[in-house]
């Protein structure tokens, strides 16, 4: 009888351990889900895009373009080829020489200082020529440096106080960022300088909150996501295939 009772106690103890370890692993799964979010805020009180801050982690940032305050002429549309809630497309008139129209801002919380390569996943949704309706303006107004690079040679936006400048459009510290080729659907590409394609880089020398600005240039240019990554840590393929979106914090 005594033996039976202690056996019962032991099995009760083992059963409680099992329950404890189960709930532990559930908690861990919750935490992992929170960490690897799908581009939406993990904190439910943080639901106004004007307050979003995208947190850099492991020298990498990935953001849904539509997770911003989109001026009315940047329309939110959906397709199977765009992630999250879809993509933003400029439906207003062209702004080929003048940046700043249809201004969109993203706040980036940079912990890992250094040089980041910029890429966006964008498409041509008007006409059937890959060299039209294929660009928007980009600026990092408070970054340490912002430049295009090709074979080790750097170019800087016009009116940035630095030279040389790109061929074709550039003004007030903005680069025209284009995709090229006659495949019109979404792809990862971001270049500047006409017929002399330079990759896009931004340098953050210190940790802090930085602003990224996009403004309208070509009608029908559609943007799904963008990434920033340090090339010392990722190849372009690794960066574009990385699925984890940046955690969204709030002001
Ligand atoms: Ca998207």
Q: Where are the domains of the chain?
A: 1-35, 49-250
Is 8 exposed, middle or buried (CB count within 10 Å of its CB: 0-12, 13-18, 19+)?
exposed
CA 27 to ligand 1 centroid distance, Å:
29
CA 77 to ligand 1 centroid distance, Å:
9
Is 22 exposed, middle or buried (CB count within 10 Å of its CB: 0-12, 13-18, 19+)?
exposed
For range 137-162, the mean pLDDT: 98
The pLDDT, as a whole number, for residue 39 is 72
CA 4 to ligand 1 centroid distance, Å:
62
CA 63 to ligand 1 centroid distance, Å:
8
CA 138 to ligand 1 centroid distance, Å:
18
Neighbours of ion ligand 1 (CB under 5 A): 64, 82-84, 224
- Lowest mean pLDDT of 13-22, 114-123, 212-221, name the range: 13-22
23 or 128, higher pLDDT: 128
CB 34 within 8 A of CB 197: no
Which helix (H) or strand (E) segment holds residue 123: the answer is strand 114-124
For range 37-50, the mean pLDDT: 73
> Does the structural domain 49-250 have CATH classification 3.40.630.40?
no
CA 121 to ligand 1 centroid distance, Å:
9
């Amino acid at each position: 009888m005594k033996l039976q009772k202690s056996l019962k106690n032991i099995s009760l103890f083992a059963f409680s351990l099992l329950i404890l370890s189960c709930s532990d692993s559930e908690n861990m799964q919750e935490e992992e889900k929170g960490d690897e979010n799908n581009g939406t805020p993990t904190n439910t009180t943080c639901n106004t895009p004007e307050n979003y801050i995208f947190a850099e982690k492991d020298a990498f940032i990935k953001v849904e373009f539509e997770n911003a305050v989109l001026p009315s002429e940047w329309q939110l549309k959906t397709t199977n080829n765009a992630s999250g809630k879809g993509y933003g497309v400029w439906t207003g008139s062209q702004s080929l020489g003048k940046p700043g129209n249809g201004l969109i801002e993203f706040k980036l919380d940079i912990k890992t200082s250094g040089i980041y390569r910029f890429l966006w996943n964008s498409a041509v949704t008007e006409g059937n020529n890959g060299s039209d309706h294929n660009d928007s303006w980009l600026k990092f107004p408070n970054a340490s440096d912002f430049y295009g690079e090709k074979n080790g040679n750097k170019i800087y936006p016009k009116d940035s106080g630095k030279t040389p400048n790109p061929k074709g459009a550039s003004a007030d510290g903005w680069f025209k960022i284009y995709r090229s080729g006659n495949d019109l659907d979404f792809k990862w590409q971001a270049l500047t300088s006409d017929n002399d394609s330079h990759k896009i880089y931004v340098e953050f020398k210190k940790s802090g909150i930085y602003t990224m600005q996009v403004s309208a240039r070509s009608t029908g240019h559609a943007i799904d996501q963008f990434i920033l990554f340090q090339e010392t840590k990722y190849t372009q393929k690794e960066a574009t295939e990385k699925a984890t979106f940046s955690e969204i914090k709030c002001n």
